[in-house]
Amino acid sequence: MDLKSHIRGVPDYPKPGILFYDISPLLAHSDAWAVAMGRMARLIQETGVDFIVGIESRGFLMAAPLALKLGLGFAMVRKKGKLPGDVVRHSYDLEYGSDTVEIQADLVKPGQRVVVVDDLLATGGTMNAAIKLLRDVGADVRAAAFLIELDFLEGRKKLDVPVLSLLNYD
Ligand code: 5GP
């Protein structure tokens, strides 16, 4: 199945000059979503991880079905202030200002072999912050996995773990 035919390029979103890759048509097509999750699950299986982490919010739409499919636990990395109880946080710089990601402190066990999942790799800033956060809680981050990778932005150069991606755009 040609999964790219279910990804919609939206020009000038969220800002003029940006081409946004919209995954909504893929999610709206149950076969396409299932095929995508099957292919990503196979890539992840080869890494030997035992836990899945998803990045808010579209990353959850990949990570949760992958966790169920692979029979693994799942935890959420969220923007600050959205998770209850004890959290660990990591702040990172953006083009303008900064942002903070959080995870609940007790979900990932020290030494646990983790894959971090998001829908799309652009500059790599978001994934890099999530990986640092996970290392702060003692995780052994084995891979970063994406449905889509924007090759021209070279985000994988920012990541010091193997990068798995299903659909690549130049
Ligand atoms: P990065 O931090 O790698 O520059 O940006 C990746 C993050 O921004 C991901 O969490 C992703 O959801 C979001 N993102 C950036 N550009 C796009 C896009 O074109 N399509 C989608 N679906 N998400 C994007």
Euclidean distance between CA atoms 60 and 140, whole angstroms: 20
Contacts of 139 (CB under 8 A, 6+ apart): 51, 53, 108, 110, 111, 112, 113, 114
Interface ipTM: 0.98
Summarize pLDDT for 15-73 with one digit per residue, the tens: 999 999 999 999 999 999 999 999 999 999 999 999 999 999 999 999 999 999 999 99
Global pTM value: 0.97
For residue range 82-135, what is the model confidence (pLDDT) as tens digits? Answer: 999 999 999 999 888 999 999 999 999 999 999 999 999 999 999 999 999 999
List domains and CATH numbers for the chain.
Answer: 48-169 (3.40.50.2020)
Catalytic residues: 58, 95
- Of all atoms in ligand 1, which is nearest to the CA of residue 55? 10
pLDDT recorded at residue 122: 96
The CB of 87 under 6 Å from ligand 1? The reply is: no
Pocket test for ligand 1, best of 120, 146, 147, 152 (most atoms within 8 A of CB): 120
Q: How far apart are CA 116 and CA 167, in angstroms?
A: 17
Please tell me the predicted confidence (pLDDT) of residue 96. 86
